[in-house]
Structure 1
Amino acid sequence: MFSQTKKKDSLKEEAIKAVNLYKKNFKEILPAQTLQGEDLERLNSHSVADALRYFSGVQIKDYGGMGGLKTVNIRSLGSQHVGVFYDGIQLGNAQNGLVDLGKYSLDDLEEISLYNGQKSEIFQPAKDFGSSGSIYLQPRTPVFKGAGKTNLVVRAKSASIDLFNPSFRLEQKISKRVSASFSAEFMQSDGIYRFRYAKKYPDGQQAYDTIAKRRDSDIKAKRFETSLNGTVNNGSWNIRGYGYISDRGMPAPIVNSRFNGRGARLSDENYFIQANLRKSFFQNWKPS
């Protein structure tokens, strides 16, 4: 009954403020497969090669042992046609043309992206367009919570093949706009593991059954990385240094019960320093 009661409403005219909506007119032609943030940390993987196993359309090739090469084959086009980019720099190997993804740790990575081709951006180096598939590794940028100024992460891994793998990462907030980070990792293993080797005669009788040891699969590697990050008005800058030194062995095949075949040795010394600056000078124009 009370709903039938009419009440007079008063309206007050006010000017409604305009709301501007901006949208980036960008659409990827081929969406990427991405692992980042907490999802990447929960994998508990040792290297980039271990994390790439969770992507579809990828074949991981492991050439044996802790020190063996670990390469990626995308869409069966060969590992030589896969471009690997670390913070915008394309990685390479002058020895055999293959990029060993086993030597890049996940401790300092913020995101891993896999593209069938390359990114759908206009401004890219010509090297990006020369690969049938591309893997982009984005290093971690320091993030400080609350009033904290220091982040420290220390890890240590061990395994049954005499593996010793300590690492740490230190992040320091220098000022309101400048932060620095430093990380280092050491990996050592003799790579000796036991396996069962048996042989039978054509009539099915057991010839011998023995326990052998696989050798020449050792590794000793050191990695260090440092970066200086900062922000400016409508932009950011970054300076990064990277180094990797390793000496490792790759075991030889067992032929005619010869267990002590001489394997191969692989030594690496990789260094690079790079800097980048990104700044917007106009409201409607941004760098890419």
Structure 2
Amino acid sequence: MTTNYKTSFLLPHDYEIPTFNYPQYVLPPVPYNYQPYTQDIWSANVIQPLKTKITAPAQCKFDENKYLNLFSGEFNECYYDFEIDLKEIDPTIQSISKFQDAYKTIEISNLNNLQIKCATPYIENFINDRNVNLTYGNDNCEFDDGLLSNITLKKEGISQTDDINFENTITLYTNNIKVNDIETKYAIAYTNGLPSGDYSNDYITKTKSNVDFLLQVTKLSNNDNDKIKETYLQVYYTNDVKLKIRFSKVLVAKLIRMFGYLYWGNDKNIVIDINNSDTLGIKNNSDDPVKIKIKPR
């Protein structure tokens, strides 16, 4: 007897071919590589103008010692700002926080050759509007002393030039710097002081009274308070993502009537308003520029 076998063939479409979904391997993002940023901010042997505005208000001033300064005699400041647009360092920096995340330190170098310079104190170079009437007296300011614009130079004083002794390199941390903070002093340097001398310009008024004028920027005698020697480095951010580097110098204004009467006055404000390097400036007295280097994290 013969047995017949039936053979069955499975075609490919008759069964499923197993498939596997392997998880895709994701590479970590490549870290963004911020580069150090270096810039010359102050060329060699260049004087920058120091800006200041000091006002003696209209007044009738009394002093029993008859030593009358129409300005307050208090310390004021003059300053110059350098500016760096942080958005120009890298296109990804569009905010202060992004800059602080990307960069760690700010290094300012070649600071040990700065000088403060103040010209001979011709009053017309410091006080533009001198159409101010001066008055004097023993009971009040009852007598006319003529216009400030009409006082006559009697004796010329001396210009002031003094060294400012910053450390050569100062390093700041970006996270410590604040927006619009013009109060914090990150470094304080001191001038040497100058030998005693006749630094004031001496004038005479209509009534032949002696008047001395001086914008003092450093210590000129042992009687001066040492604060007059101070210079500050201040650094702050602005709302439009800029970095400001400010040099500020302490100074004091003097317009003094010497002896004679108990009262001296002015009928309008007397304003020292300066922004001119020929009159008042700070000099990089070096053959090398002042540099800034901003280093990434």
Q: How would you bin the TM-score normalised by the shorter chain?
A: under 0.3
TM value normalised by structure 1: 0.26
Which structure's CA Rg is the greater one?
2
TM value normalised by structure 2: 0.26
Higher relative CO (Cα under 8 Å, sequence separation at least 6) belongs to 2
